[in-house]
Amino acid sequence: MVLGLALILLALLANEWTLRAWLGAYRIHSPSSRLLVGFGNLLLLAAGASFLLLRRKQAVFRAALGVFFLGMLAVMGLVGLELYLQTSHYLSQRPAGAEATAAKYDAFCELYLHPFYHSFFPRDPAVIERLNNEIVSIDRNGFRGPGPEQKGNRRLAFLLGGSAVFGYGNSSNDTTISGYLNALQNEYHVVNAGVLGWNSNQEFYRLALELLPYRPDLVLVYDGFNDAAWTYYQSRSGKRLPPGTPILYKDIERWEDQIRKPRLVALDLGQLRHLQAVLTLSAARRAVDRALSRPIAVDSRHARRTRTVTEPDPALVEQAGQVYVRNLVNMNHLARGYGARLMVFWQPVFSLHRNTSSEAREAASYPDATRFKQRFHDYVFAHRPAGVEVMDLSNVFDPLFQDISQAGVFQAKDDVHLTDRGNEIVAREMLRPVGPK
């Protein structure tokens, strides 16, 4: 009886609200985390009630053990089905031969801590040599392809940005944007200074601390997407972080918290946000609809289930836009102080193009995320800083193609990473305003 009462008391205490207070609200925010907590509560209540109501301890133990293992089998089955559906969905999206190319980039996605930039490529030459391959390679300073020392008689230029500048998924160093910029003109030697996941805060620090001492004549900034996307996704994570926060900050904060407050057992139920069984639940809902002959609201043009798009918080859009614009102003001031010209290009974003179907747009980006990116983009260009050259390439492919999803300029089901062909087109567009100033 005492054990039964103890289990019921534990179930009442170990609820969502007490766990959020103990572990932190941001660690229990996803539907899967709450589902797991609720399942644990029910299991404890069932076990406690069994101990109170059943007198034979052996029967109680068997009942509790049976409930536990049935629950575990159900969870394992759900996770396994979701992983299978996600893998099948992912493989169906990738074009033939893309897996081998993507595998060459896997190691470069594992960024290391950096004292100034927060996250960066490894600084150990031996590690860099081990990572480099025939498709993608960096030098000891983290530049992809030819570094500043190889400029020859050309004037030096840097291209700053995130993974799209780095050239994630492209077939070689020469088919990145910087590679095409070097191939299409002879005046500048453009160095690829892109780093996966970076935003304008990190670009500002690298420009100030590392790039400007090279005394470049030209600095090209190709960004916008990460500043908008990371702000949106971090705002939905349950713990509001200031705009401009690096993407890996939450992981490092969690590790630091574990070091500062060591625990014998560290629980982070928020990590279960990756197992929300989206595809499984969607398939089950469709099966129920078919079985019950339930009418489904669809878009007459694309036969898609309609979704309600939430309007983003205007205050958050404004705050994030101010951070981004301020970074552009500061980078421009620094570049001018070193005698360099700075040009900013808002990068192409698939979901911001008009010439594509809503089905393809939703496959590349959640509708709410797309709305936030659009509002962020609109704010930046409505408050374009005076004296800073800012060009809009967000929908650069619309005048060129009637259907962007069939043009082969974006990687499959990707909102921002371009193919080799897309990089070449963008490089040509970027060269148009680059002239005597």
Tell me the domain boundaries of the chain.
Answer: 2-93, 109-233+309-431
pLDDT given for residue 302 in this prediction: 37
pLDDT given for residue 358 in this prediction: 82
pLDDT given for residue 298 in this prediction: 40
Cβ atoms of 385 and 325 closer than 8 Å = yes
Which 3 state secondary structure label does DSSP give 317? helix
Which 3 state secondary structure label does DSSP give 345? strand
How do the pLDDT tens digits run along the chain, 437 residues long?
666 677 677 777 776 666 655 555 444 455 555 666 677 777 777 777 766 666 566 666 666 677 677 777 777 777 677 666 666 655 555 555 566 678 889 889 988 999 999 899 999 999 999 999 999 999 999 999 999 999 999 999 999 999 999 999 999 999 999 999 999 999 999 999 999 999 999 999 999 999 999 999 999 999 999 999 999 988 887 667 899 999 888 777 777 776 776 665 555 545 554 455 555 656 665 666 566 655 544 443 333 444 566 888 999 999 999 999 999 999 999 999 999 999 999 999 999 999 988 888 887 788 889 999 999 999 999 999 999 999 999 999 999 999 999 999 999 889 999 999 999 999 999 999 986 54
pLDDT given for residue 30 in this prediction: 52
For the domain made up of 109-233+309-431, give the CATH fold: Rossmann fold (3.40.50)
CA gap 106, 100 in Å, rounded: 10
CA gap 388, 328 in Å, rounded: 7
pLDDT given for residue 81 in this prediction: 72
CA gap 266, 258 in Å, rounded: 8
Show the tokens assigned to 257. Answer: 């918290």
pLDDT given for residue 362 in this prediction: 80
CA gap 314, 287 in Å, rounded: 38
pTM: 0.74
pLDDT given for residue 45 in this prediction: 75
Show the tokens assigned to 283. Answer: 């398939």
pLDDT given for residue 299 in this prediction: 40
CA gap 299, 358 in Å, rounded: 9
Show the tokens assigned to 147. Answer: 């570094």
pLDDT given for residue 85 in this prediction: 67
